[in-house]
Structures are given as structure tokens and as C-alpha cells.
Amino acid sequence: MKNISVNVNAKLSLINKNIFGHFSEHLGRCIYEGIYVGESSSIPNTKGIRDDVADALRQLEVPVLRWPGGCFADEYHWMDGIGKKSGRKKMINTHWGGVTEDNSFGTHEFFDLCELIGCEPYIAGNLGSGTVQEMSQWIEYMTFGGKSPMSDLRKKNGREEPWKLKYFGIGNESWGCGGNMRPQYYADLYRQYQTYCRNYDGNELYKVACGPNADDYNWTEELLKIVKPWHTKAISLHYYTIPTGDWGKKGDAVEFTDEEYYNTIKNAVKIDEIITRHLDIMSAYDPKHEIGLIVDEWGNWFDVEKGTNPGFLYQQNTMRDAVTAAFNLDIFIKHSDRVVMANIAQAVNVLQSVILTEGEKMVKTPTYHVFDLYRPHMEGEKLFICADSSDKDGVPTLSCSASVKDDTVFFTVTNADLNNDEELEVTFGDFMPSKIKAEIITADDIHEHNTFDSSENVTVNKFENFAFNGNKLKIKLPKSSVAGFTIKQ
Ligand code: AHR
């Protein structure tokens, strides 16, 4: 029996809903086919955007969507993606399969997508191969309402009113695919580029500087010697979970051993220490904590599915992904006083997707269902939790979070153990639960996943294996499961 104590009176930081954000890149079948099929497609669509996918993302209450990359962002020239589609310039997507990008999905289509989903746009600007003028004009095109060359061009292209744009990243992975820069060089460039990203007509940009790759603490340190709170609102962190730790042979998405499974968790939870250490460095340079940390790319990265284009990064998604998604979200919630956003890579058909598509078919993955289950944590107040630990050869197998909103407590808990159910006794201080609704995501086999022919193998189901007495909640949590409890007094 493990004990968990939730202190309902110890309200900690607000859980920013942007922690449940998503990322969409011009990569493989994420944008094209996955999200955008064009108006002439036989797949039901609105302005070329798939209705089924937009509906599924809207149901998830996706708060924010990052675009157009990733590595693609630093070779994207926005002017190629506006105006009449037949006149749009084509380019080679050199990072992702060398395919021809026809630019039919551009700025206007991205804002249409965000409107359909009901989310905030987060745009990554091109610092790697674009000019200061190009970036500055993009901001003017999107956000300036008065008369100017760029707003006239936007109006000519059918959009009278400027859009509201808050989140704007200046360069992506500038330490790697975004220009292979040294932190000092990038930091100076960042200061220059951001100068010309203006706030027009009351639109206030929330500028994001390219932060570190995983545990590159030197990048954070050197960056923050030069980039100050008056230059940036946040810095980004990218961290991917590779089961084997070997980028050359990452491991299969569906066929994995128990050892690989536990190693995936071991590598996923490393992000906790990584975040902690970056935040410590950030505190030294920004003691008032004015600069936030955005984990703008995270998730499991496996070998691509056999028979698919290696540059398209398509992978299946199993119950293992559900478990690691829950562990990750718990870590972001734990750090929610300073982690202001996190975007899983990527929304559709790429890496740890929440949605997979094949022609007109669409399936929600186990990861989708975890995001769905966790929705009540959005904008809740994180509660102090003290939990016994549980592990398998040193790899944690128990993870949980609790929040409160409008006098309703929401508690999520994951049992990652492959063979053993976990008995839990959860107490809530002087909060006496009277009404509990519980849901669970689980599968007998950790390799279970959803397919286009059998789409409900892993989904959210009602859970009843619990009892409460006074302020105590006793739960028998099945092996390999993620559960959520909505508790009213
Ligand atoms: O998400 C796939 C790629 O991973 C992104 O383009 C890049 O930023 C990262 O290396």
C-alpha cells in the first residue's frame, strides 16, 4: 500500500494551460495530409483544413499551436506562402525527406487553423537563413492595422483586419539545424532581430529566444549573460526521449522489450533534472524570474515505421506513450511556477502524435487520451502532494498531480509497473470527498495501440475500482494505467 497526501489548503502555482500545447511542422504528413488537404479534397474540410482533425484538436482544448517548425522554420520564407496558391513559389524541404514544398499552407491558412481549433498561434521566425527585414515585415504583415506596405499586401490577400499574435520564437535550435551557432553569436543576433519585431496596435509580442538542447547548461548560461528580461519573455528547451539513448538505433515504436520500456521511462523523467538545472542557472541571471521556460519540443522519438519515408518521422503510439506522456505532464505541472508552456512533438503523423491519419481515416492515439484526461488541470491551482515512491530497479513507476479549480479537486495518477497493480490510499486533509468521478486509460498489454481498423483499443473508460471513507480514497490502480479523479466536496 502506498500513501499519497494531497494538501487541499496548500495551493501552489497556477497550472498554465499552455503546458498542454502542441507543435506542427512542415514535416512528413503533419501539415499536408494530416491537417491540410486543400479545398478540392474529397475529405471533408473547411478552407482546406480537415474537419475531423480540427474537431479532435478543438475537443482537446489545445491552448497553443507552434508552427511552421522546427528545423523547417529556419529555411521558411513567409512571403512564399501568401497570395494566390497557383503563384506560390515552391521550395525543397531539405531537412525532411527533400520533398517539394508547394507553400499552399502559409500564414493565412495557419491562422485559419488556429481559429478553427480555438487556440493561440505560436510562430517560429527564421533567424537561421532569413534577414532581419524579412522577420520584421512578417510581424508587420500579421499585426499592423494601419496603412503600410505589408498591411496593404495582407489586405490584398484577403485579410482586412490584422491578426492577434502573442507568441513569437526567434530562431529554432540555433545551436543545431538553425545555424550551428555558438551561444554568444546567437545571443547577439537574437538581440538584433528582436529589436525589429515591433508591437503594433496594442499587439504585444511575447518573444521567445532559442534556449538549450537537453542538458546543454553552457548554452543557457552564455545566452543569459547577453539576453536580458527586456529582450525576451522566455527561452525554449528541447528534449526528446530516446528509449535506447542511441540516436542511431532508437528502438521500435510497437515492438519493445520490458527493458526498453523501463528505459523509456528512465530517459523521459530525466527532463525533471534538466528543467531543474536550467531553472537554477536562469535564477542566477534573472533572480526576479521574469524569463519563463518553454519546453517547445518534447516527446518520444522512435525509429520510423518500417516501409515509411525515413525523413517523415512517422511512428505508432502505444500504451507506453500514454504512460510517458503522463509522467512528462506531471513534471511540467510540478515546475508550473516557471515552465510557462510545453508543446508535444508533433500534433499529427509525426513523432509522439495525438492524431494519426491515413487517407480519409483518422485515429486518436493513447497520447491523445492522456491529454484529454488531464484537461481539468488546465488553469487549476497546483496542490501540494506528498507521495510514497514506487520503482522497478530504480525506475519510478508511480507519478501523480493534483489541482483545484472552482472547489473541485482533480487528481491524476499513473502506475507504470508492467506486472503489478498498485494499492493507494490518498488523503485530502480536511477536504471530505462526497462525489467522485473516475476515468482510466489502460491496456492488458503495454504494446496495445489504436489502428485505423480498431480505433478504440486504448481509450478513456469509466473507472470504479476505488472507495472512499471520510477523507480517505482507496484505489486499486491496475498495472500500466493512467487515471483521473474529479472530486467534489
Ligand atoms: O520535431 C522534429 C525536429 O526535432 C524539429 O524540426 C527540430 O526542431 C528538432 O530537432
pLDDT in 10s for each residue of the chain, 489 residues: 999 999 998 899 899 999 999 999 999 999 999 999 999 999 999 999 999 999 999 999 999 999 999 999 999 999 999 999 999 999 999 999 999 999 999 999 999 999 999 999 999 999 999 999 999 999 999 999 999 999 999 999 999 999 999 999 999 999 999 999 999 999 999 999 999 999 998 999 999 999 999 999 999 999 999 999 999 999 999 999 999 999 999 999 999 999 999 999 999 999 999 999 999 999 999 999 999 999 999 999 999 999 999 999 999 999 999 999 999 999 999 999 999 999 999 999 999 999 999 999 999 999 999 999 999 999 999 999 999 999 999 999 999 999 999 989 999 999 999 999 999 999 998 888 889 999 999 999 999 999 999 999 999 999 999 998 888 999 999 999 999 999 998
The three-point CA angle 260-265-269 to 5° equals 145
For ligand 1, atom 3: residue with the closest CA: 70
Mutation pick for ligand 1 pocket among 71, 348, 349 (CB with most ligand atoms within 8 Å) = 71
Q: 70 C-alpha to center of ligand 1: Å? A: 5
Is 125 in a helix, a strand, or coil? strand
- Closest to 16 in 3D by CA, of 465, 340, 255, 269: 340
For ligand 1, atom 9: residue with the closest CA: 70
The residues, any chain, with a CB within 8 Å of residue 301's CB and separated by 6 or more, are: 240, 241, 242, 250, 313, 315, 345, 351, 352
Q: Which residues sit with their C-beta closer than 6 Å to ligand 1? A: 25, 69-71, 172-173, 297, 345-346, 351
Q: 297 C-alpha to center of ligand 1: Å? A: 7
The residues, any chain, with a CB within 8 Å of residue 394's CB and separated by 6 or more, are: 266
Q: 199 C-alpha to center of ligand 1: Å? A: 28
Q: Which residues pair with 52 in a beta bridge?
A: none
For ligand 1, atom 5: residue with the closest CA: 70
- Cβ contact 251:301 at 8 Å: no
Q: 6 C-alpha to center of ligand 1: Å? A: 37
For ligand 1, atom 6: residue with the closest CA: 70
For ligand 1, atom 8: residue with the closest CA: 70
Mutation pick for ligand 1 pocket among 76, 173, 312 (CB with most ligand atoms within 8 Å) = 173
- Closest to 66 in 3D by CA, of 117, 16, 102: 117
The predicted model scores a pTM of 0.97
Mutation pick for ligand 1 pocket among 67, 180, 238 (CB with most ligand atoms within 8 Å) = 238
Which residues are the active-site residues?
173, 297
Q: 25 C-alpha to center of ligand 1: Å? A: 8
Say how many C-beta atoms besides its own lie within 10 A of residue 36's C-beta.
Answer: 25
